[in-house]
Structure 1
Amino acid sequence: MSHFSLPCEDYKWLDNPSDLNSRDIDCVEENEPQGGFFEIDGKIPVELHASAKDFVFPYAPVCVYIHGGYWQDLSKNISAYPVQPLYDAKCVTVILGYDLAPKVTVSQIIDQVKQGMVKVIEFATERGSRSVVVAGHSAGAHLASTLLSTEWISSIKESAKLLKALFLISGVFDLQPLIGTYVNAALSLDKIEAASVSPMLNLAENKGKIEVACQVVVGEYDPPSFKDQSEKFYKLLLEKGYAAELKIFNGYDHFNIVEDLRNNAYLLSQEIVKLAFS
């Protein structure tokens, strides 16, 4: 597995599409898991694609992974690395996909993810799953954090109790600093739009309706901008009344912090399983 030397200044290098495409990441087609793995497109109509003919592990937790790529790169098809350890732990895994900028806006991507998660909750409810746990990386952590919406929680009604935890890994929670960087060429965010899609600026007060364990995770060698946003969002979660923990993974950078989710012995894989079965 190759790793890049990552400069620490601001956002100009982060999730650079050319860098990401050159990394040695296993594709689903190259290393398909044994079973219990489903792909979902967030856009409507949502479809479930099963890599196993039958639904394994009845009543098992459903673990959802949302990939990064600055809302403009990567896909669910190359983001299945968390599946095998979760399958070995008797979880069902969903890799949630979404359309990419500039085809769609960040706001539209948020809507797709919320719509896709409604389908996940319905799927989990129908199969009698004991819980749903969501993990997102980078832009995926941003998208996962938008589920902390009283409107969205209300839309899934009594099934909201299934959602047990969010793992927000090396996330971007304030998109305003991206204006003026190469990233925004595809996103076309202005100040108003960037603020409107930033959870850091729009997190509602939790009035007891959202009982989700929020795990804010960042690597020791993540750039200062990511570490700063993770720490600030963690503090904001606490201020707004959410159950939250901040975890810094020593020895990890922005990429291998999720690439190692392919390993059963990886602490973060074990933490996801632990909360899924809690």
Structure 2
Amino acid sequence: MANTRRKAAWEYFGEELRRRREEAGLTQAALGQLVFVSGGYIGQFEQAIRKPQLDVAMRIDETLDTRGFFERLWKKLIREKRFASYFEEVAELERLATKICDFAPLVIPGLLQTPTYARAVTVASVPFATEAAIKDTVDARLERSAILDDATRPEFWVILRENVLRTPVGGPAVMAEQLNHIASHIRNRTALVTVIPDAEGAYPCMGGMLRLMEFEDAPPVAYTETEYSGTLIDEPAVVKSAQRTYDLLRVAALSPEASLDLIASAAEDHRRCARTT
């Protein structure tokens, strides 16, 4: 549904571009020459096949005397796409959830990430991204975490693999800060975080991350994610199976107290490493 709405909005962008171009008595080729792109590109913008760069939208405004209309519309449409298409509905649902249960075997869950950790993960995933794109991704992730500061925040349960604590994402100083941030959430009782030690060996859900969400007046859902895609699941039998898997993960994890000790110890290890590098 979100993808359909966004496609319709870009089609509106194209329709307005065509209408205002024709009102100005310009062909696609003529407008393209004035804004330094080909006429074919203008045609593709008008058909919502391609999306113009911001500087092109600004030159279109200047050429057609549209007083910043296309610049404002471009910024609104780009800003609205804050998440990967497969995660958009998940981001909406987490704001409505009364309980969120995350299992994270590889990286710190987004709701617990610090700005520096989130930036390091983003740069590692998209090494050629612009600074503006990186900032937007990090900002979107941090905005999501605001639900944990709200008076009506959901119960937030997190199970981490110990290797998540040990991997120095962004370097040891960044990692020490990140683990201290998690410890603060635990001590403030805004999150209940436990850890499955590496010595545990095999564990349930070895395929990837798992999230469960419960709601006030709607059935629970499950969400799984790999590096390239994610799947939101609402089929009751599958959600029930995912809930059972999460119960098994809880059994494999250390107690909350022992987990906090392990997180604090790992943070200190990273701090020592940062001092010697």
TM-score scaled by length of structure 2: 0.32
Q: Which has the higher helix share?
A: 2
Considering only CA atoms, is the larger Rg found in Structure 1 or Structure 2? Answer: 2
Q: Greater RCO between the two (CA within 8 Å, min separation 6)? A: 1
